Amino acid sequence: MSETFPWSALGIAPTSDRKAIRKAYAAAVKAMDIDAEVEGYARLRSARDQALALAREAPEDAVSPPVFRDVPENGGDPVPGDEAASSSSSGFWPLAAPRLLRPLSEGSVRAAPQTPEPAPGRPSFETIFPDAPADTPIAATLELGPHQSLAAPTLSGYGEIEAALGLIPGQSACERLEAVLTESDAPELAEPERIVALRALQAAIGEARSEGIDRQEQVEDWLAGLLATHWPRSAPLLETATQAFGWHEEWHRFDARPAVRFIGARLRGARFRARVEAPGHRYHAAWRELNRKGPAGPFRWLRASRDDVQFVLSGLRANFAHLEDELDPRRIASWNRPVIWPRVVLGLCWLALLANLLGLSWPFGSPGYELPDGTQIELAEDGPGPTLFGEYVETAVAESLGQGHDLAWLWERDAELARRIVAQVRASLDSGGGAEGATRAAVNLVRAATHAKGHTLSGEAREAAMRLRLDQLRAAREMAPATCLALLHEGQLPEQASAFAEPLRARERAAAARLAETPLLAESRGEEDTSVPIPGALIDAIIARTGLPDTAVREALQNEGEDAPRCDVAIALLAEALNWDGDPAAREAILRAL
Amino acid sequence: MLIGIDLGTTNSAAAIWQEGAARLIPAGADGALLTPSAVSCDAAGATWVGTPARDRRAAHPADTATSFKRAMGTNTLFHLAGREFRAEDLSALVLRALVEDIAAETGTRPTEAVITVPAYFNDRQRKATRQAGELAGLTVRRLINEPTAAALAFGLQDKGDREPFLVFDLGGGTFDVSIVEMFEGIVEVRASAGDNRLGGDDFDRALIALTAPHLDPEGRLAGLPETRREALLARAAERCRKALSSAAKADFTVTLDGETQLSVTVGQDEFEAACAPLLDRLRDPIVRALRDSDIAAHDLSEIVLVGGATRMPAVRKAITRLFGRFPNAAVHPDHAVALGAAIQAGLAARDAALDEVRITDVCPYTLGVEVAEPSPNGGLQKGLFSPIIERNTPVPVSRVQSYSTLSDGQKQIEFGIYQGEAREVARNIRLGEIRIPVPARPAGEVDVDVRFSYDSSGLLEVDLHIPLDDSRHNLVILDEEDREGPESLAARREALAALKFHPREDAANMALLARAERCYEDHIGPVRQNLGRAITRFTGILDTQEPRLIAEARDRLSAQLDAIEGSSPL
């Protein structure tokens, strides 16, 4: 284009006067029949737009673009070049090509040699897994610009105290959510964190909903970026956010925002996994097989059909590449090797014979452990067998909930917790923790769950839960201040800590068993106002009880200083709040916060 | 004469450009400006269109069609009294009724029209609308997007410059958003987005679902034939929704027979809560239009409401919340679109009064072809969408994109033509396909230039050019809808013409009779008995064929109905 392009087409001298530009454009449009002069009109439009852009840049710096919209996507969609240019010259997209056709003589016009159509009778991956996007696989990480917090903290009078406790920071819901997601590098949100994060997310969505569309968009953009950058920690939040903002409508669009597309691929991956992990799914066996550790032996075809495994694997690669990263590459590699039949048959005979002779169980595919609802849990090949594993689970349950309770009992009352205990035992065994480690991990898990659940109760039951909490904190303080803080913030004892003494353990078990019988906590329970004022009388009492100077108490409440005073102050606050007969609402709020 | 027609889901209207102004044409004898988009038939082949057809729905639900605009461009068939109609046929009947009204009003029979369509109507739906015009004997000079028409009507009120404003058009069956700017007499649509499956009808359905658990404890509705039950509920919902527009509470009442009425009271708050999922769906098109036009919501100068469903307080509240200000109700929500269509008609006819006015629109969705791409893991990914005209490009527009062959010795290329925003063509709307022979060469050596031309009416043309052998192909879209040749079109026009319509003066009597029957269906007890007697008397007088007697009886019955319904006819 000539140097004078926009101005020559508009028939005016270069100017930064928007009105003059629009006037010239209007005159030119009125002088032409745009339906007859399509190219001329396109040229005039782009001249006008360019002139206006130049005029806008002239007086002041251009406004910086929104954070996420301009981030180039990994792998990159081909983006058409300059609109103005592509209408006159033929823009060519290097990646775009027409659908491949075989020469007509071969009859079919649709088949492509490289990727054979699925055999008849086998529906496509997309049909079986409707969430599967025929997308370019999304890279494992997403480069996103730094995102800024949206809102200034909404501190109430005692904001710094709440912040100091690290439990209910005096922050906006958005900031709280960001804090929960960023405060640790752990790949998963621990149980109490998950609940806090989910509530913060719901609050943030609720706040956005009551605002105007500009603000909603801002929050939406920000949230998409936050959740995408903090995946996989953000995994339990994706579904809620997606439903709230309709991202499922957007993520398959070719111009979807990178963060939304990223979230979409992750969420669909999770849905795919949930579906295929359900026993009875057409590809359940193939999925289970791919999830085993170590290379597959020559008998792999007995556990899953080769076609099925290949089908799942190729679908996985095309759609949820990040899921493949979680599988053992050795396992995948061995499935990519051809099976050598004669050896297999021979080996099979030998092994069958051996197995019979030794009275062993069938050696192909490790046997599963059956959950009370009939679901089979896959066990590690080199781990304990189903019987032994079952014993470990029962030990863990009895140790967590007291003698006389078994998995079947718990399953009836709180299947979710039961499932998690089994998973925890399995994970501990897999990571070499042994039976003892498995039991300790289960006890810790139940402790955290009991505490989280206790929070949702009211009246006597909560009172009892909080008194137990107080004694747990005290016992942990006896061990080490750090242990106490770990319990306070994560609801769990650190791995290396020794167990609580027997009388306290008995109370924990009784509480856990009692709570297992009360209905599950409702996650949707909206978070009320999270600013908790702590009355001066209580602060005085804390000073008296701990014997710490006023400044130290304040420091501890700001989450600063040594572990020991921080722990002591938290214990004192809980103890004083429990014994306090002041304003019931304020007391309730403090207990809820702890 | 060139006329403007708003062919709506619930109501239609016609307007003409005359003496420098757009004017609506009254429908039928009673002077109403809207014609309900309804068609009803009886076994003898008699056909009712408009108000009488809508009224007949009460007594003859199976033989009456409404909201057929929602089926435009599909193969859905409507069965009325043993005859089959497609949505285009029914629309053509409505168009013909409007043409009759204009002929009666002006003494000239119009032959050309500008017809409005929802901005988000796709290529098939637009073609169907054009065909409906042709079936009604009209040359469709142009299709214009409804929010664009409304923007014209709004913008030309004072012809002054306007900073970008947003037209919020929620009709009976479709939802459109357009962002429009006005300067120097140019009405420029910056972006449009929409949801062509969201409208007032959906709010009626939400109301029906809301009342269902309480309305009918004895399950009496379940015993009725489905069409009748649906008609009863739809009518009750429409009435109740209208009442809720001006009151905090309204009754949802269904009259089953002479003795029984089922009734539930619905509060505004309950209704609003039930509509929440629908109200949520308003947000997405607004956000898309704002993003595409790169305008922040707070920079909009006005929010202009169009479409009958924007009368709902729930919708207005949602708009006020979304934009943080009250919407502008300066244009008549039911009339603006037809008036805008008449202005466009004036523009198309190069009327001197509109010499300084031009309108430019955009293509609201992306158009492109199906391609295959080598995928990162070595395979070939098929079924991908390669955009050629991106959404919200100003129209008319013509764009070229080059594609090449992918296998050695390939002899033919097939281009699937799609409309939509998804990366995979499977999620987009297939408009057609074209197959062309190509010279056999090694892969990638044969280029094909694909040119898409999109005109001001929103219709697409595809041209292919192979530079290698300089061959050219113009697309004849191989589309099921398009297979019909001109003969079958003519045959369908004749079939429609064969339907019997009542002569104009007779039509007024038929309309009144239908209204009386609807009223009869709506009431119980003595009122119903009185009405029954009045109807018998009136039909008796019609048989005398005495014009004076009939006129008197008509006035009497009409007054009686007005008294019963407590309001004027519309």
Neighbour tally for A88: CB within 10 Å:
13
Query: What band does A569 get if pLDDT is binned at 50, 70 and 90?
Result: confident
The whole-angstrom separation of Cα B323 and Cα B302 is 10
Q: Taking 90 as the threshold, does the pLDDT of residue B450 lie above it?
A: yes
What is the predicted pLDDT for the residue at A90?
Answer: 35
Beta bridge partners of B4: B15, B114
Judged by CB atoms closer than 8 Å, whether chains meet at B422 and A45 is answered as no
Q: Render pLDDT for A499-537 as a digit per residue (tens, 0 to 9).
A: 788 888 888 888 888 877 776 544 433 343 344 667 777
Which residues in chain A have Cβ-Cβ distances shorter than 8 Å to B382?
Answer: 99-100, 112, 115
* Cα–Cα distance measured from residue A294 to residue A303, given in angstroms and rounded to the nearest whole number: 15
Q: Which residues of B touch A248 (CB under 8 A)?
A: none
Q: Is the pLDDT of residue A159 over 50?
A: no
Query: Between β-strands B2-6 and B112-117, what pairing exists: parallel, antiparallel or unpaired?
Result: parallel
**pLDDT-based confidence at B304, cuts 50/70/90?**
very high
| Inter-chain CB proximity A213 and B403 less than 8 Å | no
Asked whether residue B185 carries a pLDDT value surpassing 70, the answer given is yes
Q: Which range scores top for mean pLDDT: A376-390, B128-142, B373-387?
A: B128-142
Give the model's pLDDT for residue B340. Answer: 94
Interface of A with B in 204-233 (CB under 8 A): 210, 212-214, 216-217
B264 — phi, psi (to 5°)?
-135, 140
pLDDT greater than 70 at residue B567: no
d(CA B452, CA B401): 9
- Helical ranges in B165-225 per DSSP H: 200-215
- Chain A CB contacts of B435 under 8 Å are 109
B79 — phi, psi (to 5°)?
A: -105, 110
Considering only CB atoms, B412 lies closest to which of A95, A104, A216, namely A104
The 10 Å CB-count burial string (b at 16+, else e) for B474-496 is ebebeeebeeeeeeeeeebbeeb
Q: Which of A19-28, A266-275, A527-536 has the highest mean pLDDT?
A: A19-28
Which of A75, A112, A253 lies closest to B382 in CB terms?
A112
pLDDT in the model for residue A144: 40
pLDDT greater than 90 at residue B554: no
Min mean pLDDT across A419-433, A464-478, B337-351 is at: A419-433
Q: What is the DSSP letter of A171?
A: -
CA nearest to B3, candidates B133, B156, B167, B119: B133
The interface residues of chain A toward chain B in range 295-314, judged by CB-CB distance below 8 A, are 314
> Model-level pTM greater than 0.80?
no
Strands B358-363 vs B261-267: parallel, antiparallel or unpaired: unpaired
Angstrom distance (rounded) from CA B52 to CA B68? 17
* pLDDT for residue B14: 95
Give tens-digit pLDDT for B477-522. 544 445 456 667 777 778 777 777 766 667 778 888 888 888 887 7
CB–CB of B445/B404 below 8 Å? Answer: yes
Distance from C-alpha of A505 to C-alpha of A188, rounded to nearest angstrom? 27
Q: What is the mean pLDDT of residues B61-79?
A: 90
pLDDT computed for residue B192 by the predictor: 94
Residue type at position B383: G
Residue A174 class from Cβ within 10 Å (0-12 exposed, 13-18 middle, 19+ buried)?
buried
pLDDT of residue B527: 80
Lowest mean pLDDT among A79-93, A167-181, A335-349: A79-93
A466 and A591 in contact (C-beta within 8 Å)?
Answer: yes
**Residue, of A314 and A89, whose pLDDT is higher:** A314
pLDDT of B306-359, one tens digit each? 999 999 999 999 999 999 899 988 889 999 999 999 999 999 888 888 888 899
Q: In percent, how much of chain B has pLDDT > 90?
A: 42
Per DSSP, the three-state class of A120 is: coil
Q: Which two tokens stand for residue B553?
A: 């009886």
Specify the higher pLDDT residue, B274 or B123.
B274
Structure-block tokens of residue A367: 């046997």
Q: Does A76 score more than 60 pLDDT? A: no
Whether residues A101 and B407 touch (CB distance < 8 A) is answered with yes
**Residue A116 or B278, more confident:** B278
Percent of chain A with pLDDT over 70: 67
Q: A80 falls in which pLDDT band (50, 70, 90)? A: very low
Cβ-Cβ contacts under 8 Å, A246 against chain B? 280, 283-284
DSSP 8-class letter at A328 = -
For chain A, give the mean pLDDT: 71
Listed residue (A370, A436, A367) closest to A408, CA to CA: A370
Give the pLDDT score at B274. Answer: 93
Q: CB under 8 Å, gap of 24 or more: what pairs does A70-75 form?
A: A71/A143, A71/A144, A71/A145, A71/A258, A71/A259, A72/A258, A73/A258, A73/A261, A74/A138, A74/A139, A74/A142, A74/A143, A74/A258, A75/A136, A75/A137, A75/A138, A75/A139, A75/B376
Q: Which residues of B touch A103 (CB under 8 A)?
A: 409-412, 440
d(Cα A81, Cα A87) in Å, to the nearest integer? 10
Expressed in angstroms, the distance from the first to the final Cα of chain A is 68
CB contact under 8 A, B380 and A115: yes
Give the residue with greater pLDDT, B183 vs A75.
Answer: B183
Which tens digit of pLDDT belongs to each residue from B37-53? 999 998 888 888 998 89
Whether the CB-CB separation of A35 and B144 falls below 8 Å is answered with no
Please state which of the ranges A357-371, B141-155, B228-242 shows the lowest mean pLDDT: A357-371
The pLDDT of residue A101 is above 80? no
Contacts B394 to A, Cβ<8 Å: 41-42, 45
Say which residue the tokens 């530009």 belong to.
A21
Given an 8 Å threshold on Cβ–Cβ distance, is B396 in contact with A34?
Answer: yes
A422 has a pLDDT exceeding 90: no
Cβ distance B297 to A126 less than 8 Å, yes or no, reads no
R_g over Cα of chain A: 31
Q: Give residue B424's pLDDT band: very low, low, confident or very high (50, 70, 90).
A: confident
Query: Residue A89: its pLDDT value, please?
Result: 35
Interface test with A, best of B287, B317, B427 (most A CBs within 10 A): B287
Tell me the chain B residues in contact with residue A90 when contact means C-beta distances shorter than 8 Å: 400-402, 449
Lowest mean pLDDT among A122-131, A468-477, B54-63: A122-131
More confident residue, A566 or B387: B387
Please state, in angstroms and rounded to a whole number, the distance separating the CA atoms of residues B257 and A365: 69
Average pLDDT value for chain B: 87
For B351-403, write each residue's pLDDT tens digit: 888 888 899 999 988 999 999 887 666 667 788 899 999 999 998 899 999 99
Q: Chain A: nearest CA to B156, how far in angstroms?
A: 16
The answer to whether the CB of A489 falls within 8 A of the CB of A593 is no
Q: Which of A93-97, A494-498, B148-152, B259-263 has the highest mean pLDDT?
A: B148-152
User: What angle separates helix B200-215 from helix B268-293, to the nearest 10 degrees?
Assistant: 160
Q: Which pLDDT does position B181 carry in this prediction?
A: 92
- The winner for highest mean pLDDT among A275-289, A413-427, B14-28 is B14-28
> Which member of B356, B372, B435 has the closest CB to residue A97?
B372
**pLDDT confidence tier of residue A99, bands split at 50, 70 and 90:** very low
Q: Which residue has the higher pLDDT, A364 or A260?
A: A260
Give yes or no for A185 touching B (CB within 8 A): no
A31 at the B interface (CB within 8 A)? Answer: no
Q: Return the bridge partners of B393, or none.
A: B363
Residues B390, A80: C-beta atoms closer than 8 Å: yes
Q: B74-90 pLDDT, tens per residue?
A: 888 999 988 889 999 99
Nearest CA to B93 out of B127, B51, B49 is that of B49
pLDDT digits over A318-363, tens only?
777 778 777 877 777 777 765 555 455 555 556 656 655 554 444 4
The answer to whether the CB of B205 falls within 8 A of the CB of B195 is no
Residues 6+ apart with CB under 8 A from B355: none
Place of tokens 């062959």: B405
Q: What pLDDT sits at residue B163? A: 87
Contact B401 A217 (CB under 8 A): no
Nearest Cα to A109, choosing from B431, B373, B410? B410
